[in-house]
Every structure is written in structure tokens, then in C-alpha cells.
Structure 1
Amino acid sequence: MSRGSVLIVGGGIGGLSTAIALRNAEYDVNVVELHEDLHSSVYGVGIIQPVNALRALDAIGCAEACLAVGYSTTAWGQMLDVDGKLIREMPGARIPGSDLPPMNGLTRPQLHKILTDRALDAGATIEYGKTFTTLTDGPKGVEVTYTDGTHNTVDLVVGADGVYSKVRRYVLSEDLQPVYLGQSAFRLNIPREPEIDRIILQHGPEGLAGFVPIGPDLAYLFYNTTWEEGRRLDQDKMADELRRRLAPFGGLAGRVRDKYIDDPSRIVFRPEEWLIAPAPWHNGRIVLIGDAVHAVTPHLGQGAAQAIEDGVVLAECLSSHGDHDQAFQEYTERRHERCKLIVESSVAIGEYEMDPAGHPDFDHAGLTQHVLESMVQPI
């Protein structure tokens, strides 16, 4: 017997994870995704799965598949200087009583396929090239009109439509917009060098290079650097610009620069933005998850992890309360401070990377370890 009908707006990591969790909790679930197919909503190169992400994925039956195609590490990472010399080990954290590794890395398309297949197997429906035009909340449900001219009424709506969410205006009283950190990131898939068996961070004079294993023979390079807001860089100039910015580096970053940075078409470039919405994260029968309420810069690898956790917790709260308002209140109470810690800590790391001299006492590795240890606590 169905507990009710749920429309999820957005078929990304958070939306699909929520769809699986709600189907497991016996809700009828339909996902609408504006992009035209499975792959068009996958951006970026690889993705970091900290142990708390793996725990949430395990709760929806997807962790084993992620571990099978990804690269599991025995520690979180290492921090190196510009010449490639070790500064500090970063052990990460484990969940007591669990065999899950501190971190797993895999490609974004792999994760998206795992989540999509699991959602469909669980009985969710997914419609591509479609989204809503209006939502009208009422005592008997939410009346929804769609871009294809159809309409229906559902019991609940979940806004999982990202940092520029269109659902958000139905929930929050203020016009909340993401904040540009002042930093942007280059990313590029590369063959996995032998020492990339965990996250490797290499500090340079004007930015930070990082390496993440995402498969037995695959890794990705990222480079975080100060970048003027709105400044455009043509795709055909990406490789030249990235090599120029990596010119001071020796060690691993220098070797990768010289061996692999030659095709500008393979480089992804994204601004780093953040957002943390005030509570509550719901209004009536409409609730928000993921980047719609807590957009995270990538400095701690927790953006996707928090979106997956949102879906798991939301399903738990709805299953334990007969009243959706009580369920949504508990969901926000369980999620807000945890997500706020991630957002604010990630911003602090980014600000340090842009101006190390201005933050002489900042402990990058220490803050990372503190957050990772906080994230293994129950959600």
C-alpha cells in the first residue's frame, strides 16, 4: 500500500537518491528532469565519496556498486608543498564497526548510472526533458502543471533542482542566491599515477592542485585558483592557462602538467559558489534538498554526500511521522547544522587557499580532519 505520491524536481544525485529512499519507504515517486537524457545532467569529471556518503549510499543499496567500479582508499589524503615534498598526512575518519573505507572515488557518469538504475529498479518513474511550470499548494495536495502541458496533483513535492532552484521561491520568503567564493576550479581526468592512491593536495604560490583516484587506472586533477567573477576563458585556451598556472609546481603536479595537459576540450572549468538557506526548508507540502538549500564548494568533497544524506533522512522522517509538517521539521532539524558546518568550513578553506598570508594560523589539514570526524557521527 502506497504512503502517498511524491514529485521530485531534479534528476541529479540528490533527486535520484531521494527517489530510491522514498520508494524503499513505499511512496509512489516520479522524477522530472529538465535535461533531455540520462547523461546530459552529469557535469564534471570525477566525484569524491567520503565514508559518510558511502554509509548513506549503503542505506539505499548503492554502496557496493560504487565500490565495485571506483577506487577505495586506506586513508583520506596527503598534503604536499609546491615541490612535492610531504607536509602532513591526512588520515580521515572511519565509522566504528563499519568496513567502509575512508574514501571512494569514481566518475560522475558511473555514479549517475548506478543511482538511475537503482531508482528504476525500485519502481520510481523518471521523465526527461520535462519540469514544472507552476506549483499550487493546497489542503489536499500540490497541483502541478508541467512544461509539456500536462498537470496532476501530488501529495508532496521535493525540490532537488540545484543551486539555481526554481522550487526554492515556493519555500523561502527571501530571494536567496548563491555567493561566488572568488575562486574557480579547473578539472581534468588523467591516467592514475602510482602515488595517487588517496587525495593528494599540493599547495602552490597562487592556488592548490589536487589529485583524486576514481578508478584503478584513472584519476582527476583539480586546480583551485583565484578568479575574477564573470571573467570568461575560451575552451581552446584552457590547457595553456592551466599549464601556466601550474608552472611553479614540481613533483606530482609538475609531472602531470608536462605529461597530460594538452587537450583543452577535456578540461572542465567551474566557478565555486556556496549557499546555506535559513530554516525551515519546507513550506506546506513542498520541501527542499541538496544544493537548493546548501550549495557546497568542493574543498571537502561533501556536496554530493550531503545531498544523498538529505534523501535518506527525509525518507526516515516521513516514514516515522503521519504528518508531513512534523516530518519536514524533523528533517530540517537533523540536517541544518550539519550542512552549515560543511558549507562554512569549505568556504574557510577556499578563503585560505586564495590568501595564505592573510590566514597565517589557519590549519587546513586540521579543519579537514575535524569535519571528517564530525561526519562519521550519526545523521
Structure 2
Amino acid sequence: MSRGTVLVVGGGIGGLSTAVALREAGYDVDVVELHEDLHSSVYGVGIIQPVNALRALDAIGCAEACLGVGYATTAWGQVHDVAGNLVREMPGARIAGSELPPMNGLARPQLHRILTERARGAGVTIEYAKTFTELVNGPGGVDVTYTDGTSGRVDFVVGADGVYSKVRPYVLAEDLTPVYIGQSAFRLNIPRIPEIDRIILQHGPTGMAGFVPIGPEMAYFFFNTVWEEGQRLEQNRMDHVLRELLAPFGGLAGRVRDEFVTDPSAIVFRPEEWLIAPAPWHRDRIVLIGDAVHAVTPHLGQGAAQAIEDGVVLAECLAAGSSPQEAFERYTERRYERCKLVVESSVAIGEWEIDPTGKEDFDHAGLTQHVLETMVQPF
């Protein structure tokens, strides 16, 4: 017997994970995704899955598949200088009693495929090229009007539609907008050089270069650099600009510059933004998850991890049998401080990367380790 009906707005990582968790908890779940298909909703190249993300994925039956197509590491990473010399090890953290690795990297399309297949296999309905035009929220349910002209009533709506969420105004009185940190990131898939067996970071005068293994034969390269807000960069100039920014680097970054930064169409360029919404994250029968309430810059690889955890916790709270109001309050209580730590720590690392002047005492690797050790605690 169904516990009720849920509409999840957004078919990204958080939305699909939440849909699976709610379906496993006994709810009938429909996902609507504005993009026209699975592939068009996938942004970026690769993704970092810290051990807490793997634990949450394991809870919805997806960790094994992710590990099967990704690259599991024996440690979190290393810090190198601009010339490529090892400066510091970053061991990462493990979950007591678990065999999950400190980190798994995989291609984003692979993750979306795994989550989509798991959702459909669990009985979730996914509709593409569709979203809502109006939500009428109330204590007994939510009346939804859709872009295809249909309408209906559901017991709950989950807003998993990202940092520019259209569901968020139905929950929060404050008009929130994400904060641009002052950095943007270049990303590019490259062959996995043998040395890339964990996250490798190189800090130089023009930004932070990084490498993440995402499969036996593939890695992705990223470069965080200062970028004026709103400044356009034409796609056909991506490779030229990136090579110029990487000019001071030796080591892995120098090799990538010389061998692999050749095709501008293969480079993804995105601004880095953050947001943390005040509690509560719900109103009546509508609740928010993921980037809609805690958008994270990529400096700790925790954005997707936190969204997946949101879905698992939300399903647990609703399945506990308390009233929807109590369930949503408990969900926010369990998630708020944890997500806030990730958001604020990521921003602090980004600000240090932008300008380390006067921040000689800032311990980038130490803060990373602190967050990772915090994240392996129960969520």
C-alpha cells in the first residue's frame, strides 16, 4: 500500500536520488525534468564521490554500480606546487566498519545513467521536457499545473531544481540569489595518466589546477581561476585562454597544457556560486533539497554528496510515521549544520585560492581533512 504521492521537480543527481529513496520508503514518485532527455540535463565532465556520498548511494542501491564504472582511490589526494613537486598528502577519511574507499571518481553521464536506471527499476516515473507552471500549497496536499496543460494533486512536492530553483519561492519568503565567489572553473576530460590515482592539486599564481581519476582510462582536469563576473568567454577561445593561464605550471598541469588542451569544444567553463538558505526548508507540503537550499562551490567535491544525503534523510524522516510537518522539521534539523559546514568551508578554500595574501596561516589541506572526517560521521 502506498504511503502517498510525491512530485520531485528536477531530474538531476539530487532529484533522482531522492526519488529512489522515497520510492523505497513506499511512496509513489513522479519526477519532472525541464530538459528534453537524460543527457541534456547532465552538466560538467566528471564527478567526485567522497566516501559519505558512496554511503548514501549504497543506501539507495547505487554504490556498487558507481564503483564498477568509476575509479576508487586508496587515499583522498595530494597537494603539489606549481612545478609539480609533492608538498603534502591528504589521506581523506574512511567510515568505521565499511570497505568503501575514501573517494570514487566517475563520469557524470555514467552517474546519471545509474541513477536513472535505478529509479525506473524501482518504479519511479520520469517525464522529460516537463515541469510545473503553478503550485497551490496547502496542509492537505499540493495542486500542480504542468507545462503540458495537465494538472493534478500530490501529497508532497520536493524542489530539487537547482540553485536557480523555481520551487524555492513557494517555500522561502526571502528572494535568494546565489553568490558568485569570484572564480570560474575550466573542466576537461583527459586520458588517465598513471600518476592520477587520487585527487592531485597544483596551486599556482593564476589559479588551482586539479586532476581526478574517473575511470581506469579516464580522468578529468579542472582549473579554478579568478574571473570577472559576467565576463564572456567564447567557446572557440577556451583552449587558447586556458593554455595562457597554465603557462606558469610544470608537472601534470604543464603536461596537460601541452598535450591535451587542444579542442575548445571539449572544455566546460562554469562560474562558481554558493548559497545557504535559512531554515526551515519547507512550507506546508513543499520541501527543498540540494542546490535549491545549499549550493556548494566545488572545492571539496561535496555538492552532489550533500544532495544525495538530503534525499536519504528526507525519506527516512517521512517514513518514520510522524506528521509531514514534524518530518520536514526533523529533516532540516539533521541537514542544516552539516550542509552549512560544507558550504562555508568550500567558500573559505575558494577565497584563499583567489588571494592567499595575508592568509599564511590558512591550512587548505587541514580544512579539507577536517570536513572529510566530519562527513564520515552518521548523517
Give the TM-score category using the shorter length: over 0.9
- Counterparts of 1:206 and 1:333 in 2: how far apart (Å)? 40
For 1:1-379, list aligned pairs within 5 A.
1-379=1-379
Matched residue SS, 1:209: strand
Matched residue SS, 1:152: strand
Contact 1:317 1:330 in 2 (8 A): yes
Q: CA deviation at 1:356?
A: 1.2
- Counterparts of 1:283 and 1:108 in 2: how far apart (Å)? 32
Q: CA deviation at 1:139?
A: 3.3
**Identity rate, percent:** 79
Query: After the TM superposition, which of the residue ranges 44-53 and 138-147 deviates more from structure 2?
Result: 138-147
Matched residue SS, 2:372: helix
Matched residue SS, 1:252: helix
Q: CA deviation at 1:322?
A: 3.1
Matched residue SS, 1:287: strand
Q: CA deviation at 1:137?
A: 1.2
**1:18 maps to amino acid:** T
Contact 2:140 2:285 in 1 (8 A): no
Q: What TM-score comes out, normalization by structure 2 length?
A: 1.00
Contact 2:206 2:246 in 1 (8 A): no
**1:223 maps to amino acid:** F
Matched residue SS, 2:357: helix
Q: CA deviation at 1:140?
A: 2.6
Q: CA deviation at 1:81?
A: 0.2
Contact 1:7 1:29 in 2 (8 A): yes
Matched residue SS, 1:356: coil
Contact 1:78 1:198 in 2 (8 A): yes
- Counterparts of 2:256 and 2:130 in 1: how far apart (Å)? 41
- Counterparts of 2:345 and 2:138 in 1: how far apart (Å)? 39
**2:21 maps to amino acid:** A
Residue-pair matches, total: 379
Q: CA deviation at 1:357?
A: 1.7
Q: CA deviation at 1:359?
A: 1.4
- Counterparts of 1:203 and 1:138 in 2: how far apart (Å)? 51
- Counterparts of 2:22 and 2:145 in 1: how far apart (Å)? 22
Q: CA deviation at 1:74?
A: 0.1
Q: What TM-score comes out, normalization by structure 1 length?
A: 1.00
- Counterparts of 2:127 and 2:217 in 1: how far apart (Å)? 34
- Counterparts of 2:138 and 2:356 in 1: how far apart (Å)? 52
Contact 1:32 1:126 in 2 (8 A): yes
Q: Please, which runs of 5 or more residues in structure 1 have no aligned partner?
A: none
Q: CA deviation at 1:79?
A: 0.1
Matched residue SS, 1:216: coil
- Counterparts of 2:279 and 2:139 in 1: how far apart (Å)? 22
Contact 1:352 1:358 in 2 (8 A): no
Contact 2:12 2:41 in 1 (8 A): yes
- Counterparts of 1:345 and 1:138 in 2: how far apart (Å)? 36
Q: CA deviation at 1:307?
A: 0.2
Matched residue SS, 1:133: strand
Q: CA deviation at 1:141?
A: 1.0
**2:251 maps to amino acid:** G
Q: CA deviation at 1:122?
A: 0.2
Which portions of structure 1, spanning 4 or more consecutive aligned residues, are displaced by more than 6 angstroms? none
- Counterparts of 2:104 and 2:137 in 1: how far apart (Å)? 40
Contact 1:239 1:261 in 2 (8 A): yes
Note the aligned Cα RMSD (angstroms). Answer: 0.5
Deviations 1:243-293 (A, max 9, x none): 000000011110111010000000000000000000000000000000000
Q: Please, which runs of 5 or more residues in structure 2 have no aligned partner?
A: none
**2:39 maps to amino acid:** H
**2:232 maps to amino acid:** R
- Counterparts of 2:38 and 2:218 in 1: how far apart (Å)? 22
- Counterparts of 1:256 and 1:176 in 2: how far apart (Å)? 38
